[in-house]
């Protein structure tokens, strides 16, 4: 088999969609995120706060600084530091303050949508790496290997890839790109559209009836993409499935729930939340389910929402787990967006597997512990990698 095809991982290295650039998000940044709809809290009212002596003391200090400090004060920056200080005090890696720019980047990466033309480009020479299906770029006839050399008849060769992307995504209405294709210059006319960010990669394993499905992050549109991918794979005769969650650091809890519900039978446990010694169970409420055999591949960077899905598939579906022990993030974060566009993200609960296990700091242990093989030359330099984890998953499903 083609090893490159075996694990593309859809790592949209410089993803664009000529579009919004999605940075690789760490487990600490992404995690398992749920919204609290900006409610004040579980059990504290504004009346309680008005009678809080400690808070009034803080407000007194704040007012004194604004009134008496010898230099001008940026009130927004001062409060940002105060909020960040509260988050730091809690000593929780997953509780943090995000400024407006970081908040915007996080929401963009998890929205599952972007405005653009539907391509990925090479960051160094502005070569089109991939053209996504059913996008303005595909309809305009752009092809992988084309090089962006002009924008609206202006020479784009001196510009960086970032600058070209900015020109494109900030243009309303039609615009023209000049592309170098071999020895020819091709001109296309395009218009940005709202597109789904590809978060998956899928295909049939050669010479088998096994499908392969990689999930990159748990965005708002992931469940829709998974359903479409499964429908296509099933139409090609798929009778078993490999779900690859390696390096997936999480995302929205609702996305993990929606994806799990595609596979589980109605009433099966997906996860539970433990808040202040109270446990709330969350079960599949849909009639949709699957019956084919599933192997899930995980590694040390599989975290949060992806661990929720892996645990649900193992304990409530009967899937087999292959790979390395997962990251072990068993906490859920609430978010609250502030008026200035910034956001606080704080831990609000532990999540538990269907059997009631908390995997925080321990992770999910695979049924088959497998590490990929690193290939080296005589000097010890790395020359490649054998995807032993994927090979084992294929072996388990095709004994």
Catalytic residue numbers read: 304, 315, 329
Give bridge partners of residue 273 from the DSSP assignment. 280, 351
d(CA 270, CA 357): 12
Give bridge partners of residue 293 from the DSSP assignment. 240
Mention every residue, 6+ apart, whose C-beta is less than 8 A from residue 148.
121, 126, 128, 156, 164, 177, 178, 179
Strand pairing class (210-215; 240-244): parallel
User: Is 321:242 a contact under the CB 8 Å cutoff?
Assistant: no
> Tokens 């170098």 correspond to what residue?
180
User: Is 270:282 a contact under the CB 8 Å cutoff?
Assistant: yes
Q: From residue 17, how far is each of 102, 166, 220, 294, 384 by CA, in Å?
A: 20, 11, 17, 32, 29
Query: Coil, strand, or helix at residue 186?
Result: strand
d(CA 306, CA 51): 43
Q: What H or E segment, with its residue span, contains residue 78? A: helix 75-89
């Amino acid at each position: 088999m083609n090893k490159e095809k075996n694990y593309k991982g859809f790592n949209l290295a410089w993803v664009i969609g000529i579009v919004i650039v999605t940075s690789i998000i760490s487990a600490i940044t992404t995690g398992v995120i749920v919204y609290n709809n900006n409610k004040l809290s579980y059990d504290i009212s504004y009346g309680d706060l008005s009678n809080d002596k400690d808070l009034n003391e803080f407000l007194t200090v704040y007012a004194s600084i604004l009134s008496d400090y010898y230099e001008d004060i940026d009130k927004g920056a001062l409060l940002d530091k105060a909020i960040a200080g509260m988050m730091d005090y809690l000593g929780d890696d997953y509780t943090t303050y995000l400024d407006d720019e970081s908040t915007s980047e996080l929401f963009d990466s998890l929205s599952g949508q972007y405005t653009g033309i539907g391509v990925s480009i090479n960051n160094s020479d502005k070569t089109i790496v991939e053209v996504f299906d059913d996008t303005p770029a595909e309809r305009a006839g752009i092809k992988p290997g084309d090089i962006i050399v002009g924008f609206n008849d202006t020479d784009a060769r001196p510009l960086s890839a970032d600058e070209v992307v900015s020109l494109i995504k900030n243009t309303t209405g039609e615009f023209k790109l000049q592309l170098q294709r071999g020895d020819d210059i091709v001109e296309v006319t395009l218009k940005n559209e709202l597109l789904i960010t590809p978060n998956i990669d899928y295909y049939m394993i050669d010479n088998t009836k096994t499908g392969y499905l990689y999930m990159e992050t748990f965005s708002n549109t992931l469940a829709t993409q998974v359903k479409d991918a499964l429908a296509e794979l099933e139409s090609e005769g798929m009778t078993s499935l490999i779900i690859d969650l390696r390096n997936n650091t999480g995302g929205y809890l609702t996305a993990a729930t929606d994806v799990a519900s595609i596979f589980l039978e109605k009433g099966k446990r997906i996860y539970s939340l433990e808040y202040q010694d109270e446990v709330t169970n969350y079960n599949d409420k849909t009639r949709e389910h699957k019956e084919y055999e599933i192997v899930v591949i995980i590694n040390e960077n599989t975290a949060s929402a992806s661990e929720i899905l892996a645990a649900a598939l193992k304990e409530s579906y009967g899937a087999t787990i292959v790979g390395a022990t997962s990251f072990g993030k068993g906490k859920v974060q609430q978010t609250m967006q502030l008026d200035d566009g910034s956001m606080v993200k704080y831990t609000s609960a532990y999540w538990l597997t269907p059997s009631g296990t908390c995997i925080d700091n321990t992770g999910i242990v695979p049924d088959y512990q497998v590490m990929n093989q690193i290939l080296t030359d005589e000097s010890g330099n790395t020359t490649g990698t054998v995807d032993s984890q994927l090979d084992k998953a294929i072996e388990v499903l095709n004994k």
